[in-house]
Amino acid sequence: MWDHPQKNKHNAFVPDKPTNLTVTSITSRKVAISWLDPKNLGGYRLSRFWITLKEESALILNITTGKMNEYEINNLIPYTTYGISVAAGNYLGFGEETVTSFITSEEAPSGPPSHIKTTSRSASLLSVIWDPPEKAKQNGVIVSYTACVSHSENGLCFQTFITRGREWLVGNLNSSTKYYVRVLASTKVGHGNYSESKGFFTNGTFVPDKPTNLTITSITSRKVAISWLDPKNLGGYRLSRFWIKLKEESALILNITTGKMNEYEINNLIPYTTYGISVAAGNYLGFGEETVTSFITSEE
């Protein structure tokens, strides 16, 4: 191992900077560079090189090598700009660096789009929007999205839509029906995986609207009480039941239907845990859209 390198570019006895620093091959995750020895070696034998790699101001690589004229760097990030420098050295020190920059190639996205939601809906239409994948997982320029709607979670797509934007008006749907939407993103290299499916109900003229004022009325470390108000639109039939679901992250903890009531107590919870809860109102034809909230149980 060489000692930690020290630049000494004003010393006439150290080498000049290398010439012809070139990126000879580049992929999404690695790059090969080459250079030529400086013409002026400073009067002593050229014995080593000092290579640094930066992403913006962050130092990614800082090494000295023996006498060589090429180097391969791995474990890079796709579609990222790096700056690289090479300085030549002899036993007295290092001279001035030669500097260049490069951009790694693109890859297909390694993360899916997120936050799929509806902006409006009717008995036969769903207007859906979403966010792009996380910046660090885009791996290039997103050139298109492919959206899919199915009758079941992760079921076969009966409609697909390819767009450069991040919205889709899904038509020709049935009223009072739950549909599942998932989306994938593509760069010019290829497409990533689909997002998790998100379920949405179309409006129905014969099932109730969603309950209102879903409230956590009391909470402890092991139980919670909730209450809600009946929807204003009952769908033209008598309101007869409610559908209550409780989730911890993606795990379904409670999935029950009740009679006509406006409050409920849930026991056997875990202290200091986040839960999501939904309530949907129903008549004899079916259930409407859920009202959703979340809570954290108390500590013990």
Tell if the pTM clears 0.75, that is, is over it. no
Q: Domains in the chain: how many in total? A: 3
Q: Determine, yes or no, domain membership for 111.
A: no
pLDDT tier for residue 205 given thresholds of 50, 70 and 90: low
Q: Considering only CA atoms, which of 155, 154, 118, 113 is closest in space to residue 133? A: 113
Q: Determine, yes or no, domain membership for 137.
A: yes
Q: Determine, yes or no, domain membership for 217.
A: yes
pLDDT at 64 over 50: yes
User: What are the strands, taking DSSP E only, across 56-142?
Assistant: 58-65, 70-73, 81-90, 93-103, 114-121, 126-131
pLDDT tier for residue 111 given thresholds of 50, 70 and 90: very high
pLDDT for the residue numbered 230: 96
Q: What is the CATH number of the domain that holds 59?
A: 2.60.40.10
Cβ(35)–Cβ(20) below 8 Å: yes
pLDDT for the residue numbered 76: 97
Q: Which domain holds residue 147?
A: 117-201
- Last residue within a domain, chosen from 104, 130, 152: 104
pLDDT at 36 over 60: yes
**Is residue 189 located within the same domain as residue 123?**
yes
Q: Considering only CA atoms, which of 75, 96, 180, 190 is closest in space to residue 140? A: 190
**Is residue 218 located within the same domain as residue 196?**
no
Distance separating the N- and C-terminal Cα atoms of the chain:
54
Q: Determine, yes or no, domain membership for 42.
A: yes
- Last residue within a domain, chosen from 75, 104, 133: 104
pLDDT tier for residue 59 given thresholds of 50, 70 and 90: very high
Cβ(89)–Cβ(49) below 8 Å: yes
* Mean pLDDT calculated for residue range 259-265: 96
Q: Tens digits of per-residue pLDDT, 118-166?
A: 998 888 899 999 999 999 999 999 999 999 999 999 999 999 999 999 9
Q: Determine, yes or no, domain membership for 3.
A: no
